Structures are given as structure tokens and as C-alpha cells.
Amino acid sequence: MKLVIASDHGGLDLKAAIISHLDGTHEVADLGPNDTTSVDYPDFAHKLSEAILTGHADRGVLVCGTGQGMAIAANKHPGIRAAVVSDVFSARMASLHNDANVLCLGQRVLGPGLALELVDAWLAAEFEGGRHARRVGKIDLSA
Ligand code: RB5
């Protein structure tokens, strides 16, 4: 699976930890930022969303202080289903039932150990389809 990851300045350390954690098991492209300069999270949410929608990656992870701003921005893109999670059950269900193609995490909310478990749970679970496909199909109002 091809992954993309991006953050803002508030998610930089967790982004690095996730890249290191996935090294060797997944192809992960880091879309930035590369230093601690203050940046605007929508710029990175849009960049990552476009990478997925143009087929350059299958799924993506966005990290900011809370995960919330990233999700709000990414979900403006039809076809992006971004889920903010902070527990393993929800991370798994985001894949199984919601076909979430973007996981949003909050570096100021989560410890790194839990955050990595969330990434693993979300990646390991596969969309169940069936009645969930019908529901997911109703999300995009422009379709
Ligand atoms: C940046 O200070 C902070 O607002 C951002 O990382 C994020 O938490 C927004 O949702």
C-alpha cells in the first residue's frame, strides 16, 4: 500500500515517529513540512488529499495539534474520508465501516505509543463493503 503523510508544525514529531514506525513495511511519502516553522494546516491537508485523489497514494495520515483542523480541511475534498481517532476501536472501525482513506491524529492529544497503535489498527482493517458501501456512497453530495 502506498501511503502519504503530512503534518503542520504541531504534528512534526509524531509524523517522524510514524514514518520511522512504518519503515520497511509500507512505502510512505513525506509531504512535509520539514522543519518547525509555523505553517497552516490546510495547506498540507489539501496537498495530501490531492495526492490521494490523483492516485499517487492509496491512503494518508495527517497530524496536527489535535487532528481536527486537518480532518475538516481534508473532508472538503469529495472522495476523501478523513477520520480523527484517539482510540483503537474507532481507528479500526474507520476502515471497516467508513472506508476512511485518511487518518487524522493529534500530537497534543495522543502519546506516541497509542498513536502508532492507531495507525496499525487503521491500516490492518479493510473496508467491509456491503451495506457500508451504500452508506459511504451517500456521503459525497456532489456524486
Ligand atoms: C496549530 O497551532 C494548531 O491549531 C493545529 O496544529 C491544529 O491543532 C488545528 O486543528
The pLDDT of 1-15, averaged and rounded, is 98
- Given this model, what pLDDT does residue 13 score? 98
CB 46 within 8 A of CB 102: no
pTM: 0.98
Class of domain 2-137 (CATH, top level): alpha beta
Instruction: Say yes or no: CB of residue 14 within 6 Å of ligand 1.
Output: no
Instruction: Say yes or no: CB of residue 68 within 6 Å of ligand 1.
Output: yes
Which ligand 1 atom minimizes the distance to the CA of 69? 10
Which ligand 1 atom minimizes the distance to the CA of 108? 8
In the chain, what are the domain boundaries? 2-137
Grid cell at residue 60: 494518508
CB 102 within 8 A of CB 57: no
What pLDDT band is residue 143 in, cutting at 50, 70 and 90? confident
- Given this model, what pLDDT does residue 81 score? 98
Grid cell at residue 94: 474507520
The pLDDT of 44-49, averaged and rounded, is 98
Report the nearest-CA residue for atom 3 of ligand 1. Answer: 65
Q: What is the pLDDT of residues 83-104, one digit of tens each?
A: 999 999 999 999 999 999 999 9
